[in-house]
Amino acid sequence: MRVLMLSKACIVGIYQPKLEAIARRGVDLTVLVPPAWRDERGTQQLERIHTAGYRLRAIPIRFNGNFHLHHYPTLAREIAAAQPQIAHIDEEPYNLATWQALRLARGAGAKSLFFTWQNILRRYPPPFNWGERWVMRCADYALAGTDDAAAVLRRKGFGGPLRTIPQFGTSAALFRPAETAPSRPFTIGFIGRVVPEKGVHILLRAAAQLAGEWRLRLIGGGSSVDEMKALAGSLGIDHRAAFVSQLPSTELPAEYQKIDVLVLPSLTRPNWKEQFGRVLVEAMASGVAVIGSDSGAIPAVAGGAGRIVPEGDVAALARALRELRDDAVLRGQMVKAGRARFQAHFTHDSIAEATVEVYRELMDRSSVGASGG
């Protein structure tokens, strides 16, 4: 089957093994991406890392960095050249890129599906609500990253086939435990956007309550970096806290081997709650214990393999950090459970297999429609 995927997320190299895994399952796959994508962390350039078995094409983008209005001026030519049977639109239904791709896919006679992480029931103003309703009415299938996102899509009125599949898996070859036990102080890690809703200030205040030897590594860019550096200084822990700018995705596996626990202290906002938290999966794959707040999808992703604390609760997070630092046996049990959870639910192969099952279902529907016509 011929599949054309449109996905700005696939510029990230560590996400691309899923594409190779899809191609290994007999899919003639073309993936269209922008040359780069801009957000509050800076500019992420296309990383051509895992490209075996499929075509990865960078095409021009307009309104780069605008989540709702970005689109692709040459997309019509790309679809005409690829002649896909299925258009996999890896975007939210209220985005202009999704409207553009769906209209062109329908014109080319291709089946279509879109993806959503949106786990809060939000009502958008025109024209975004008009476009969202049109996509939900006309798309042949929808994928949701979590069950909460699937429930929101149903509440908004999507009545078509729907399946919960995380957007990407994690590579067991790239993210793996360190081969030897490191000699270092207990090291706490944060990897992600340094913005208010990610709760880095909660982590800094909790870490400041720890006695003894410990270190903190915070990796990522965002609007709050300078503020968080100043907070670390005011708490008297700036000599223990290392701030590292956003790194290429290929350098992240080594970063997990430098920490003993990964913390995701996200804070729910009126217009956002944690949609997945893939750093939890990467940490579990890497043999790192995880602590997360109870915001959004974090408890479901961590399952019984992680420690969950109430969001915004500095004292509870400090207690969890202290417990994991002081109890090596408990930490080892969490590491073992996390690695098993990753292998059972979050590999690229498992995500690819579920995705290709959806493609096959769409093709079967096409065959039934053709024979019945």
pLDDT given for residue 39 in this prediction? 87
What are the tens digits of pLDDT across the range 118-153?
Answer: 999 988 999 999 999 999 999 999 999 999 999 999
pLDDT digits (tens, 9 = 90+) for 320-333: 999 999 999 999 99
Element (H, E) at 56: strand 55-58
| pLDDT at residue 369, as a whole number | 55
The Cα–Cα gap between 189 and 319 comes to 16
* Model-wide pTM > 0.95: no
Measured distance CA(140)–CA(170) in Å, rounded: 27
Answer whether 277's CB lies under 8 Å from 292's CB. yes
- What is the per-residue pLDDT across 255-287, written as a single tens digit (0 to 9) for each? 999 999 999 999 999 989 999 999 999 999 999
Q: Which domains does the chain have, with CATH numbers?
A: 2-169+348-372 (3.40.50.2000), 186-345 (3.40.50.2000)
Q: pLDDT value at position 237?
A: 97
- Res. 87: pLDDT tops 60: yes
Burial of 310 (0-12, 13-18, 19+ CB in 10 A): exposed
Mean pLDDT of the chain: 95
- In this predicted structure, the answer to whether residue 373 has a pLDDT above a threshold of 50 is no
130 CB neighbour count, 10 Å cutoff: 13
Tens digits of residue pLDDT in 192-222: 999 999 999 999 999 999 999 999 999 999 9
Asked if 69 and 63 count as a contact pair (C-beta separation under 8 A), the reply is yes
